[in-house]
Amino acid sequence: MKKLFVPIVALATMCLFTNCQKDETAPEITIPGDALTIDLGDATAALKGVTAKDDKDGDVTSSLKVTAGLDYVGVGTLTYSVEDKAGNVATKTRPVTIKPDKLFGQYVLTQTDTSGSSSYPVIVDKDPDVSTVNVLVTNIYNNTTKWIFAGDGKTMELKPIKTYMLDEGTGDAGTVTTSLKYAIIDGKYRIFSGTYSIDWEQSLDESYTLTFK
């Protein structure tokens, strides 16, 4: 018994001086107070200036990750996460504006409905007149169409700046609804599909499937 008593006393004494209590305190994340505008998917820019400290492990900034929000085009929210050695996890959110610039470029658009399909080149580009999250889609029906990106995940609703289109031949007005989907294709963000519909006031509605290449 004497041989066992000494190690037990030594362990108790060591815990007394080193605080053997279980670590249940999560790290603290500190986020700069300035407004943040970044490119789509840019985790490096999202993490700039963000720090994390733990009461046991010290500076754990290198373990910080952005766990949600990088694929949102427009005004959204980033979620940061960090874990200490004891497994305690801290999360914190931050408002962000994400630009759609990485989706800009030349595409071949194929528009399909029940009567068939047609293909023509389009350009997705920045709208310099409005804001960083607006785009120009050029050559839709041989016109320049302005749309505003707004969405989350990898599906975006594009709301026309003019919420209707006018058939110059009949004078009929219609409400336009459009959505696009994008993904990382061959290492780059690209729009690849979508839908386009017109709810006419006087005539039959139109609905199209869009494919971008």
Q: What is the pLDDT of residues 99-113, one digit of tens each?
A: 888 888 889 989 898
Structural domain for 146, as ranges:
101-212
Phi, psi (rounded to 5 degrees) for 75: -90, 120
In the numeric block, the tokens 């929210």 are attached to: 77
Q: Give the pTM.
A: 0.70
Q: At 165, is the pLDDT very low, low, confident or very high (cuts 50, 70, 90)?
A: low
Helix/strand/coil (H, E, C) string of the chain? Answer: CHHHHHHHHHHHHHHHHHCCCCCCCCCEEECCCCCCEEECCCHHHHHCCCEEEECCCEECHHHCEEEECCCCCEEEEEEEEEECCCCCEEEEEEEEEEECHHHCEEEEEEEEECCEEEEEEEEEEECCCCCCCEEEEEEECCEEEEEEEEEECCEEEEEECCCEEECCCCCCEEEEEEEEEEEEECCEEEEEEEEEEEEECCCCCEEEEEEEC
Average pLDDT over every residue of 161-168: 58
Does 140 score more than 70 pLDDT?
Answer: no
Q: Which of 55, 78, 99 is the last residue of a domain?
A: 99
Q: What is the CATH number of the domain that holds 51?
A: 2.60.40.10
pLDDT computed for residue 177 by the predictor = 76
- Compute the mean pLDDT over every residue in the chain, rounded to the nearest whole number: 79
**Mean pLDDT comparison of 64-73, 145-154, 155-164, highest-scoring range:** 64-73
pLDDT computed for residue 144 by the predictor = 55
Name the domain count of the chain: 2
Burial label for 20, CB within 10 Å (0-12, 13-18, 19+), is exposed
Cross-strand pairs, 190: 183
Same domain, 196 and 109: yes
Same domain, 177 and 123: yes
pLDDT computed for residue 110 by the predictor = 92
Q: Which of 49, 80, 99 is the last residue of a domain?
A: 99
11-27 residue pLDDT tens: 455 554 455 678 889 99
Same domain, 112 and 181: yes
Average pLDDT over every residue of 175-202: 83
pLDDT computed for residue 72 by the predictor = 77
Does 199 score more than 70 pLDDT?
Answer: yes
